[in-house]
Structure 1
Amino acid sequence: MKLDLLRDLNRERAARRAAILVTAVADGTQRLVREADAEADPLAPELLARFRSGRSGIVEAGGGPLFLTVQVPPPRLVVIGAVHISQALAPMAALVDLDVTVIDPRTAFATPERFPDVSLLPLWPDEGLSRLPPLDRYTAVAALTHDPKIDDPALVAASRAACFYVGALGSRKTHGRRVERLGAAGLSEAEIARIRAPIGLDIGAVSPAEIAVSVLAEVIGALRQDRRRAPA
């Protein structure tokens, strides 16, 4: 690989932007396609499908076989609230290769004893999110505290960042009041409509562990959904 291509690929990786290295099998010539440029590329259908699946592989094009090396940011889950649901959700999410961070300013809850082997930030969401790489389309955010002072700032940030999943705990009545607050905070109707609330698939979950299962299933469904991500 040429040094300039390697440098560009590393730059995209560091910025959590997806890219595909296209290599001609016959002669080894290479080019880099960024996700934001894929729709205008001659290989657009195949590139977009690869961005969605995250899988590398060989495709046949007019000039012969091409190997597509796909680089997409690792998916991550940011959980707002060090609550009982989060205690069950964090280890399950790690099992499916989600990079998990839990944020909660309540230091009585956000303790290493309650969340062993989990990235834990005992901070208010605004400060906690500023310590992380910027939210993006490869990030899921689950707001679980039931406290507007903690949940709402994270929901605003996640909605504006077009995260692939944004969910919030609470009844439909609770969410109705949340919608009013988020609208007053400047979110559009379309941004608010993307918030999954009540959070999780409707499986009749009762216990914190069952609710965690329903949330994780909904996150995985959103991650794997066959959709075309709009350019940032």
Structure 2
Amino acid sequence: MDLSLLAALNAERRARRAVIVATRLADGTARLLSEGAVPDGDPLATEAAIRFRSGRSGLVEAAGEPLFLNVHLPPPRLVAVGAVHITQALAPMASIAGLDVTIVDPRTAFAAPERFPGATLIPAWPGDVAAALAFDRFTALAALTHDPKIDEPAIEAALAAGCFYVGALGSRKTHARRVERLTAAGVAPAAIARIAAPIGLDIGAATPAEIAVAVLAEIIAALRGGPRRPTGEAAS
């Protein structure tokens, strides 16, 4: 690969932007396609859009010539707001599933390293560190504190950034009050409708560990494009 192309690829990956390296098999020449920046008239525009959604690399034919599209998507992340019992079970499972996990909670008694060995902990108010969390469309947010002062600034930031999953703990009544507050704060109804609440797939989860399984399953479904909750309900 050309060194300038490699440098550009590495820069895009460091910035957590999705890119494709399109290589002509005939002569090995390659170019970089950035998500959202492929012109409609480009022969690879349609195929690139499909590959950005699926994340799958492979051979294609465009303008009568074979090419290999090598897709580079940022690794998926989970930001868990609330260093609670559910998070203690969710964090290691999410890591095993391949998600980078960050836990945010201003309550230092909860956000203690001994409760989350090896995890990235941010003992701060989510609203104060939203920029540093760098929410993007490859990030999932699980708001788990039941405290609007902690959860809702993170929810607003995640919705604004287009995170692929935004889930919030609480009953339907709790969520109805949350919707009222978010609406009053100016969050659009279409954005609010994206919140998975009550959080998690409906598997009859009761314990913190079972709820964590339900949450992780829902995150994976959102990541892979599957149904969020076929039964229309969820664990809380």
TM, length-normalised to structure 2: 0.91
Give the CA deviation at 1:37: 2.5
Work out the number of aligned pairs and report it: 226
Aligned to 1:225: 225
Aligned to 1:131: 132
Aligned to 2:234: none
Whether the aligned pair in 2 keeps the contact of 1:23 and 1:68 (CA below 8 Å) is yes
Whether the aligned pair in 2 keeps the contact of 1:87 and 1:115 (CA below 8 Å) is yes
Whether the aligned pair in 1 keeps the contact of 2:17 and 2:35 (CA below 8 Å) is yes
List runs of 5+ in structure 1 lacking aligned partners. 228-232
- Percent of aligned positions with the same letter in both sequences? 67
Distance 2:38 2:55 in 1: 14
Whether the aligned pair in 2 keeps the contact of 1:50 and 1:70 (CA below 8 Å) is yes
Aligned to 2:208: 208
Secondary structure of the residue that 1:78 maps to in structure 2?
A: strand
Distance 2:185 2:3 in 1: 46
Give the CA deviation at 1:39: 6.6
Give the CA deviation at 1:62: 3.7
Aligned to 1:14: 14
- Map 1:176-191; keep pairs closer than 5 Å: 176-191=176-191
1:103 equivalenced with 2:104 (yes/no): yes
Query: CA offsets per residue over residues 97-140 of structure 1, 9 Å max, x none?
Result: 000000000011111111011111111102333333x2110000
Aligned to 1:80: 81
Whether the aligned pair in 1 keeps the contact of 2:87 and 2:212 (CA below 8 Å) is yes
- Map 1:89-168; keep pairs closer than 5 Å: 89-132=90-133, 134-168=134-168
Whether the aligned pair in 2 keeps the contact of 1:39 and 1:48 (CA below 8 Å) is no
Whether the aligned pair in 1 keeps the contact of 2:103 and 2:120 (CA below 8 Å) is yes
User: Is 100-109 or 27-36 further displaced after alignment?
Assistant: 27-36
Whether the aligned pair in 2 keeps the contact of 1:82 and 1:110 (CA below 8 Å) is yes
Distance 1:92 1:38 in 2: 36
Secondary structure of the residue that 1:101 maps to in structure 2?
A: strand
User: Is 143-152 or 39-48 further displaced after alignment?
Assistant: 39-48
Secondary structure of the residue that 1:36 maps to in structure 2?
A: coil
Distance 1:130 1:81 in 2: 18
Aligned to 1:42: 43
**Relative contact order higher in (CA < 8 Å, ≥ 6 apart):** 1
Whether the aligned pair in 2 keeps the contact of 1:38 and 1:44 (CA below 8 Å) is yes
Whether the aligned pair in 2 keeps the contact of 1:82 and 1:102 (CA below 8 Å) is yes
Whether the aligned pair in 1 keeps the contact of 2:21 and 2:33 (CA below 8 Å) is yes
Distance 2:138 2:127 in 1: 19
Query: CA offsets per residue over residues 182-216 of structure 1, 9 Å max, x none?
Result: 11112100111101100001111100011000000
Secondary structure of the residue that 2:113 maps to in structure 1?
A: coil
Give the CA deviation at 1:15: 1.6
Secondary structure of the residue that 1:94 maps to in structure 2?
A: helix
Query: CA offsets per residue over residues 6-44 of structure 1, 9 Å max, x none?
Result: 232222112211010100011111111111034723223
TM, length-normalised to structure 1: 0.92
